[in-house]
Amino acid sequence: MGTQKGGSKTDSQGKKPHKNKLTSKKYSLYVDGKKKNKTCPRCGPGNFLANHKNRVYCGKCHYTEFVKK
């Protein structure tokens, strides 16, 4: 038939070990009692807007505000 195709080339590597992050760093949304990010005006105070290069964005309702320079 021929050589088999597909599959892993080296079985010796396997999975890489998982790197744990500190929970306190992962969920740090407040600094000195003030919020780091803005909340979404559509969704309410539970959802924060993600900061991107030129905009802020809500992942739940897709609300976007573009930042003027």
Q: Residue 31: what residue type? A: V
Domains: count for the chain: 1
Whether residue 46 lies inside any domain: the answer is: yes
Instruction: Answer yes or no: is 6 within a domain.
Output: no
Q: What is the pTM of this model?
A: 0.55
Q: Is residue 65 part of a domain?
A: yes
What's the domain range around 67? 35-69
- Assigned domain for 5 exists: no
In a domain, 8, yes or no: no
Answer whether residue 11 is part of any domain.
no
In this structure, is residue 52 part of a structural domain?
Answer: yes
Band (pLDDT 50/70/90 cuts) for residue 11 is low
DSSP string, the chain: ------S-S-SSS-PPPP----HHHHT--EETTEESSPEETTTEEEEEPEE-SSEEE-TTT--EEEPP-
**Residue for token pair 């949304």:** 29
**53 located within any domain:** yes
Looking at per-residue pLDDT, the higher value among 24 and 66 belongs to 66
